[in-house]
Amino acid sequence: MNDHPAVIVPITVGLILLSAFFVAVEFALLAAKRHRLEDAAASSRSARAALRSSTELTVLLAGAQLGITAVTVALGAITKPAVHHWLMVPLEVLNLPTVVADVISFLLALFIVTFVHLVVGEMAPKSWAIAHPEHSATLLALPMRAFMAVTRPLLRALNSAANWCLRRVGVAPVDELATGQTSDDLRQLVEHSANVGALDARFSAQLTEALQLERITVAELVPAGSSPVTVPPGARVAEVQRIAAESGHQRIVVVDSGKPLGMIHVRDTLAESGGRPIDSLIRPVLQLPTTTTVASALATMKETNTQLAVATTDTEPLAGVVTITDVLRRLLPVGDPA
């Protein structure tokens, strides 16, 4: 090939830029936040392309690695021999033995090409992509999708080969990057913030308790041996009002032979005569197994717009009751909620 600088230099610059493109694409999608891409996707075609790429991340990474590898091979086949040839000229002027000059020029050419490729073609675009992940992912998405469309059969074959290797060692391949933080991650962050003084210790305990809601169960909110306040079906309004006044509870569970039939709210009895039976005033009651996590229980109570749920087990249809107040007391142990 022609070793003239007017030919080699533009080709080298193009190859370095191509390497920078593939490196930036790779790190941009690894660092980009999916929810930000989703927000931008409504008004940006490039953001929608980036979002599609994030759902087939392994194929995209295969494309980026293929591009980087091809550029590296091209630099080794085109630029390095040319630089090697150019360096031979001044070394020969020094009257060095041909073998010595050839070895020195080879090593210098290898160092120069590798250094330029590493710094300009890899490290700089990597830092840029990490610093501006969503912007770079969106900016580069469309040309990368075009490259993937052309090379997709090859990329799928490479990806399948890589997945086969993973399965042989017991690793399940994934096509999408996991997003978000787990409750354990957030709990460690809260503990670290409290330890270094960045978070007031008064709030640390409350945040930790809130993060525990996905782990603790309804059983932990039901005191052992608790005896819920109940009334039988057919009870009179006056009896419900008396029990509510004595217990301080506004919601009373209606129980027949140990099984909850529903609940009655004392508010519903205020306009009724004391001797009226409560049967027509009974509301449905939410029943939750004691193994239900508190987070799931809260979500269900919110969906059903209820403040009280009956805790059940395989052997006890009425193991206890759980209210929103119980959860708030767990979150705010310094005092009862208003």
- pLDDT tens column, 55-113: 888 888 899 999 999 999 999 999 999 999 898 888 888 888 888 888 999 999 999 99
pLDDT of residue 184: 57
Q: Distance between CA atoms of 23 and 128, rounded to whole angstroms?
A: 10
- CA-wise closest residue to 53 among 223, 176, 167: 176
Domain 217-331 has CATH 3.20.20.20: no
**8-state DSSP, 284:** P
Which amino acid does the sequence have at 264? I
Region 260-276 average pLDDT: 87
The per-residue pLDDT of the chain, averaged, comes to 82
**8-state DSSP, 198:** S
Q: Residue 193 — pLDDT band, cuts 50, 70, 90? A: low
pLDDT higher than 80, residue 328: no
Q: Distance between CA atoms of 24 and 34, rounded to whole angstroms?
A: 17
130 against 181, higher pLDDT: 130
Residue 7 is encoded by which pair of tokens?
């030919």
pLDDT of residue 226: 66
CA atoms within 13 A on the CB side of 333: 11
Which of 88-92, 177-181, 236-240, 273-277 is the least confident region?
Answer: 177-181
CB atoms within 10 A of CB 133: 21
Per-residue pLDDT reduced to its tens digit, 26-69: 899 888 887 788 888 778 889 888 888 888 888 888 999 999 99
Name the residue ranges covered by the structural domains of the chain.
5-168, 181-215, 217-331
CA distances, 31 to each of 52, 137, 217 (Å):
15, 9, 35
Which of 148-162, 218-232, 290-304, 305-319 is the least confident region?
Answer: 218-232
pLDDT higher than 90, residue 186: no
pLDDT higher than 50, residue 336: no
